[in-house]
Amino acid sequence: MARIRPDQLPRALQDRLAPVYLVSGDEPLLVQEACDTIRHAARQQGFSERELHHVDPGFDWGQLHDAAASLSLFASKKLIEIRLPTGKPGDKGSRALSEYAATPSEDNLLLVITGKLDSAATRSKWYKALDGVGAHVPIWPIDPPQLPRWISQRLQQAGLNADKGAIDLLVSRIEGNLLAATQEIEKLKLLAPEGHISTELMASVVADSARYDVFGLADRALSGDARGAVKSLQGLKTEGTEAPAVLWALTRDIRQLLQVANQIDQGKHPDWAMKQAGVWAKRQGLFGTALRRLKRPHLELLLRQAAGVDRAVKGMRNADPWDELLDLVLALAGTSSLQPANIRLSLKL
């Protein structure tokens, strides 16, 4: 069975359609888009009727034979769609698919949609029966390192372009949920008629009602205003802002501070170092204040602390993300005058 990557599918469908297409994978959005591409190509080539079958434990596989043998009253060609979530058709299903593959009709196109197929499934009789007549479109998840590039491509397809910081923020917001990413991109199309997505605009979208307060929180922490920063953190939580959006804003500033501190340690002028690190002119005063309080070893500890918060957010550590964010905010503000244990009580109310 020819294997076709999703990005190769449109070109492959320009030629003569195969009698059978198998689309497998656990990423719903990408599976749906691959199937839509096949359906569109089928309609373009005269398969104007579609017959859909969901395979459940009581499914009658005789329906596949009936669908293939029946003549349509409304169309000369038909798309037969079999949705097989488990990827395991059983003995009856294996026989039915094998029999169909043995004598495919030019008037029918079979589209089989399954979850991820393991190596045992690809060695099964039904899979091998389709091998000589069909094409397999395996859908693989988008790994975290690939996600920024994937989002950037999606934005370009939507006629948008975005700052790197904006893309990074959206990555932290969706946590690998590609459907959520496409929904946010649709929202951005309405909010950015000029086509450019700034970091501020992305923050206002993904933080919902927070309205730039993630930046206000970071500014208060940089200035050493621990009480004000804690108040902002509590407000963000109360408004329903998601922890990843807050963590992103804090981590971005910590990384920039560390980059500037490294350059200063190498003898560079602070103004030049801040410009190289991409610090906005209006925030350079805040960075200067923070750097008088936070030295490079301290910033390295803060970055490791932020990584720990990230693990808590993702469920990889048994810790409350908002408690962890509180500790990070206080450490960034460089104060020990406030007691985190007492403040946590107010954050949990």
Banded model confidence at residue 82, pLDDT cuts 50, 70, 90 = very high
Q: Give exposure, 68-95, as e/b (b: 16+ Cβ within 10 Å).
A: beeeeeeeebbbbbbebeebbbeeebbe
> pLDDT tens-digit profile of 281-322?
778 899 999 999 999 999 999 999 999 999 998 888 899 999
User: What average pLDDT does this structure show over 265-293?
Assistant: 89
Residue 333 falls in which region: left (phi positive, over 0), alpha (psi -120 to 50) or beta = alpha
Q: Which of 244, 250, 198 is nearest to 220 (CA)?
A: 250
Highest average pLDDT, of 65-79, 163-177, 232-246, 253-267, comes from: 253-267
Any idea which of 95-99, 105-109, 119-123, 332-336 has the lowest mean pLDDT? 332-336
Measured between alpha carbons, how far is 117 from 2 in angstroms, rounded to an integer? 15
18's CB contacts (< 8 A; 6+ apart) are 2, 133, 134, 135
Mean pLDDT score of the chain, rounded to an integer? Answer: 86
Banded model confidence at residue 344, pLDDT cuts 50, 70, 90 = very low
- Quote the pLDDT of residue 74: 60
Cα angle for residues 58, 65, 77 (degrees, 5° grid): 125
User: At 13, phi and psi to the nearest 5?
Assistant: -80, -10
Give the strand order in the sheet containing 134-138: 2-3, 134-138, 20-24, 108-114, 78-84, 49-54
- Quote the pLDDT of residue 335: 65
Measured between alpha carbons, how far is 126 from 84 in angstroms, rounded to an integer? 13
- Quote the pLDDT of residue 206: 66
Measured between alpha carbons, how far is 64 from 306 in angstroms, rounded to an integer? 55
Find tokens 């501190």 and name the residue: 261
> pLDDT tens-digit profile of 4-44?
999 899 999 987 899 999 999 988 889 999 999 999 999 99
CA 180 to chain centre: 7
Is residue 172 scored above 90 in pLDDT? no
- Quote the pLDDT of residue 346: 42
- Tell if the pTM clears 0.85, that is, is over it: no
Is residue 126 within 8 A of residue 98, CB to CB? The reply is: yes
AA letter at 62: G
Residue 63 vs residue 342, higher pLDDT: 63
- Quote the pLDDT of residue 192: 83
Banded model confidence at residue 241, pLDDT cuts 50, 70, 90 = confident
- Quote the pLDDT of residue 143: 81
Measured between alpha carbons, how far is 227 from 285 in angstroms, rounded to an integer? 20
Is residue 245 scored above 60 in pLDDT? yes
Banded model confidence at residue 336, pLDDT cuts 50, 70, 90 = very low
User: What average pLDDT does this structure show over 248-274?
Assistant: 92
> pLDDT tens-digit profile of 178-223?
877 888 888 888 888 788 998 888 877 764 433 346 778 899 999 9
190's CB contacts (< 8 A; 6+ apart) are none
User: What average pLDDT does this structure show over 35-61?
Assistant: 91
Is residue 337 scored above 70 in pLDDT? no
Residue 303: burial class (beta carbons within 10 Å; 0-12, 13-18, 19+) = middle
Residue 266: burial class (beta carbons within 10 Å; 0-12, 13-18, 19+) = exposed
